[in-house]
Amino acid sequence: MRLDSTDLEILRVLQNNARITNRELAATVGIAASTCLDRVNRMRENGVILGYRLQVAPEALGRPIQAFLTIRAQHRRELLTALAEHIRSQPETRALYHLAGRDDFLVLVAAESVADLQRLVIDELTGRPEINQVQTTLVFQEWEGGPLLPPDGQR
């Protein structure tokens, strides 16, 4: 799907405020509300807009300890698929990435305490036979990036 400058402006506004009404979005972008709705629906149907989600502060839910876990595992598809499902099923898991390079997975977790993080790593991860190594890196602070825009010169 080719995105024009109006589509990109719609995406920029929505990425900064997904709760904006269609009428407000249309006014901000400078197009009719019906045209705006058509463009948003077209981008959703074509997989440009993947969805809208609520972000909750982990500490508000009693999970103030965040960490990145890098995991090295046996690299066989049937093992990796089952491992990914296991990691995703853990209530501490916020995001999971399958990687190329030295590590096989990167996991962002939010735990209730250091003891809870230790339990997750030891009992739920390093105890699995397909995992060779887990490295834990604590998160001190998190910043969100700005809207994702195409590289210069691309539409």
CATH number for position 99: 3.30.70.920
pLDDT at 76: 84
Does residue 134 share a domain with residue 67?
A: yes
For the stretch 83-105, pLDDT in tens is 999 999 999 999 999 999 999 99
**Residue 155: is its pLDDT beyond 80?**
no
pLDDT class for 149, splitting at 50, 70, 90?
Answer: confident
Are 88 and 50 in contact, with CB atoms under 8 Å apart? no
Alpha carbon of residue 21 to chain centroid: 24
Asked if residue 93 is part of any domain, the answer here is yes
Does residue 28 share a domain with residue 67?
A: no
Distance CA 89, CA 81 (A): 12
Q: Which residue range is the domain that position 34 belongs to?
A: 5-45
Are 16 and 147 in contact, with CB atoms under 8 Å apart? yes
Are 116 and 92 in contact, with CB atoms under 8 Å apart? yes
Buried (b) or exposed (e) across 19-45, using 16+ Cβ within 10 A?
eeeeeebbeebebeeeebeebbeebee
pLDDT at 150: 78
pLDDT at 40: 98
Does residue 38 share a domain with residue 105?
A: no
- Tell me the whole-structure pTM to 2 decimals: 0.82
By DSSP bridging, strand 105-111 and strand 131-138 are: unpaired
pLDDT class for 154, splitting at 50, 70, 90?
Answer: low
pLDDT at 146: 82
